[in-house]
Structure 1
Amino acid sequence: MLPRLCLLVSCLVLIASCAVPPDSPRFEPSADLPPFEQDSFADYVRENRAWISEHRAFISDDRDLEIDMNAPFEMRPETAPKRGILFVHGLGSSPWYFSDIATAMAKDGWLVRSILLPGHGTKSADLMLPYLDDWEKIIAHQTTLLKNEVGEVWLGGFSTGGNLVTSYAAHDPDVNGLLLFSPGFYPSNGYLFLAPAISYLWDWVDIDTEDNIPNYQSLPSHGASLYYQTVSKVQDDLTRADFNRPVLITMSQHDSVLDPVATLDAFQSRFTNPRSRFVWYGETPPNLDDTRVTALSSNLLDDRISTFSHMNVLFTPENPYYGRRGSHIMFENGQEGIPVPEDSETLWFGAWGQITPGKYHARLTWNPYFNNLLADIRTVTSQP
């Protein structure tokens, strides 16, 4: 009786926290999803840009910028590429998240493509539309297109995208390796398994002001359910067999969404290739004896950084939107009741929920070690 009671209480708590959206077209899903199985990547980009232009609930006066920051894209090297990588973003984010890494890798000779998962790029209500099968199909199709152009294919993913590409690669031995940034293998929320049931009872789990161009701020319950499905699948894949090709994994010790220790444990036990690397942003984990793991301090007082966030690893300090002097600052960071300082030069930066007496922490949205990250990518992807 007690376990059933606990489950009922958990459901009631979650339902009580679910949100009711305002009466606005912004919170009504589109009629359908954009096509994603075009015969060429160029056609895919063109048709998806048109789709975003028609269906997006724009949040600024710069429509072109919003399209650019949400559309799939390709970067080509100056010479004919022999290697290519397909990047897959996370839940609620966009292909643009990989723009800084893509720029560097294209200069290194890579053909780089970053795709738009169906349900993204327009309005958060469109996350009510896709099924996991849609996300798996677009990765399979776009990987095939990339294979047709280059002889060596890698996959990269952020958060939920890391789950998706890891599961795909587990069943496709032609994928040469993986680059995974804050992969969402192990969520910190112990109630996530309830998400599929909640999605039948309530449409939204979070409603927020949409002020972040490449990232949804609101979340339908169906989107949470999709993330849970990727977690279940990737955990099954990692349990079934080791991954013996090279992989780079990055993780913040203070990630507010994931279980960093479980991810590190999985890397040490399941990702067996000697060229693989794990970059841990935080204090060196105790009893660490894996030379493939590098720990970098995330407490950088000179930069007013206390901890690293779930998302900051992907962006250069010079990024025009999320960088140190970028145009967008994520002030809302889980610090209710604490006033935002008028002088931005007194801001501190950290993970979601970072609270320190006497300091206001905005979200950290850039990586002070970005050049180190590029060096790690080159090491992991180097020819054996």
Structure 2
Amino acid sequence: MSQSKISMNKRFRIGRVFGVFSALALALVILVGLIGCSGLNTTEQDIHSLAFNIYQQQTISDVKAHRVFQQMAQEDELIFNSPNEWTPKHILEGSKPTKGILLVHGLGDSPWSFSDLAVALSEQGYLVRTVLLPGHGTSPDDMLDVSAEQWQEVVHQQAKQLEKDVSGKVYLGGFSTGANLILDYAYQHPSIAGLALFSPGFKSSVPFQWITPALSKVKPWLITPDSDVDVQTPVRYMTVPTNGFAQYYRTSVLAQKLLEKPYDKPVLIVATEHDSVIDTPYLLQVFQHNFTNPNSRFIWYGKLPVEASDTSRILVRTDRIDAQRISQFSHMGVLFSPDNPLYGSQGQLRICLNNMNAEERKACENGSPLWFSAWGYHEEGKVHARLTYNPYFSWQNAVMFDVLGG
């Protein structure tokens, strides 16, 4: 082979390598650019309040028009997936409640998440309201193009309205993603008297969450909806588009930024050692260093890590209860009473999709004796469904009332 041909081939190979490198570099630049543009800022725009009854009726109409109804009576599902209000007893006609709380659900969930907590709080004299975050309550497809800014807007709108409708203290409560959204409002509004945070999603334990804002542009579903598995139930989505995870991630980044500064109002955090979704060691660190009020409490279900130093404010209960066939507590179970008609110990709904083992799922669906756990747990010789209730629910409520002051 002539020297000129060798040189030409060498240049061709170098050019091809350079071309591949350039393409990868360009892809990386685009990826970084997309991620860089994915930040969520604390809401500074002027969001006006909206009367709750108007907001409620508008939302109910939207859910009714677009929901993919499941196996239950449509009227029941409509109630489960719509904003609701619980008014305390013994209010004089024409007067306002003396305290109130707004409760915000998590990713893929519905206002029904607070059906047990809301009753308990209203019995303590709170005006209790829930909201439905955009993209929820209808079909998972409706989350393909939703934004965290839309979630922020609803929370700010209804938190402001609640402050108008209550004569005294207003509190905020949130589950998972909802905890991030109420944190945003609370840091901006010192008038908020305290927070109740259930499995707060400040930081995910799932790897590579940071890539979801970019990935959602090219891969709409991380887990493609499967006809063999329910996509949704009467009260929640069982799968969400990549964009749903991306918007959650954006709220978590904002929460971590906010938590660089202390928060001095009373806060209740409830979390489980074996939560499969959130970074619980980070929660413990944040509680001990950033939630400075002496009346704040952290309820920890499981074995307390050695990193826990603020033991006077941390309350521990075991999360393995063999007598009730509970191997460990779950991310979602902390919200519900054992008496809940759908999710309680004798509830109608069982979440059999608790890991990727198809045989265990089928055994659960076919009525095998069950144990209960967080997502992903496996123990030889046992079939596990998701734990969807909290055996310590009444005790947890008593702690919550103490933290919030009544």
Tell me if both proteins adopt one fold, taking TM over 0.5 as the criterion.
Answer: yes
Specify the code of the residue in structure 2 equivalent to 1:244: D
Which of 54, 57, 71 is the matching residue for 2:65? 54
Residue 81 of structure 2 aligns with which residue? Answer: 70
Asked if 1:200 corresponds to 2:217, the answer is yes
Residue 269 of structure 1 aligns with which residue? Answer: 289
Return the alpha-carbon distance in structure 2 between the equivalents of residues 284 and 341 of structure 1. 31
Residue 298 of structure 1 aligns with which residue? Answer: 319
Specify the code of the residue in structure 2 equivalent to 1:365: T
Specify the code of the residue in structure 1 equivalent to 2:155: I
Specify the code of the residue in structure 2 equivalent to 1:230: T
In 2 relative to 1, CA 61–322 (structure 1 residues): closer, same or farther, beyond 3 Å?
A: closer
Query: Cα deviations across residues 318-356 of structure 1 (Å, max 9, x unaligned)?
Result: 100111110000111105143415885721000001101
Which of 116, 121, 146 is the matching residue for 1:100? 116
Query: Cα deviations across residues 149-178 of structure 1 (Å, max 9, x unaligned)?
Result: 112110000000011111211111111110
Kindly tell me the number of residue pairs found equivalent between the two proteins. Answer: 353
Residue 28 of structure 1 aligns with which residue? Answer: none
Residue 90 of structure 1 aligns with which residue? Answer: 106
Q: Is the 8 A contact 2:72 2:234 kept in 1?
A: no
Given the two structures, how large is their TM-score scaled by the length of structure 2?
0.83
**SS in structure 2 opposite 1:178?**
strand
Q: Is the 8 A contact 2:135 2:143 kept in 1?
A: yes
Asked if 1:313 corresponds to 2:334, the answer is yes
Q: Is the 8 A contact 1:136 1:164 kept in 2?
A: yes
Residue 331 of structure 1 aligns with which residue? Answer: 352
Asked if 1:176 corresponds to 2:193, the answer is yes
Return the alpha-carbon distance in structure 2 between the equivalents of residues 329 and 167 of structure 1. 34
Query: Cα deviations across residues 212-235 of structure 1 (Å, max 9, x unaligned)?
Result: 211111211111110010011000
Residue 190 of structure 1 aligns with which residue? Answer: 207
CA RMSD of aligned residues (A): 2.0
Residue 175 of structure 2 aligns with which residue? Answer: 158
Specify the code of the residue in structure 2 equivalent to 1:204: W
Where do 5+ consecutive residues of structure 1 fail to align? Answer: 12-35
Asked if 1:368 corresponds to 2:391, the answer is yes
Given the two structures, how large is their TM-score scaled by the length of structure 1?
0.88
Residue 400 of structure 2 aligns with which residue? Answer: 377
Q: Is the 8 A contact 1:119 1:127 kept in 2?
A: yes
Q: Percent identity?
A: 40
Return the alpha-carbon distance in structure 1 between the equivalents of residues 333 and 104 of structure 2. 16
Return the alpha-carbon distance in structure 1 between the equivalents of residues 232 and 51 of structure 2. 33
Where do 5+ consecutive residues of structure 2 fail to align? Answer: 1-20, 32-46, 92-96
Return the alpha-carbon distance in structure 1 between the equivalents of residues 365 and 234 of structure 2. 23
Q: Is the 8 A contact 1:309 1:365 kept in 2?
A: yes
Structure whose CA Rg is larger: 2
Specify the code of the residue in structure 1 equivalent to 2:165: E
Q: Is the 8 A contact 1:38 1:44 kept in 2?
A: no
Which aligned runs of 4 or more in structure 1 are off by greater than 3 angstroms? 36-39, 341-345
Residue 379 of structure 2 aligns with which residue? Answer: 356
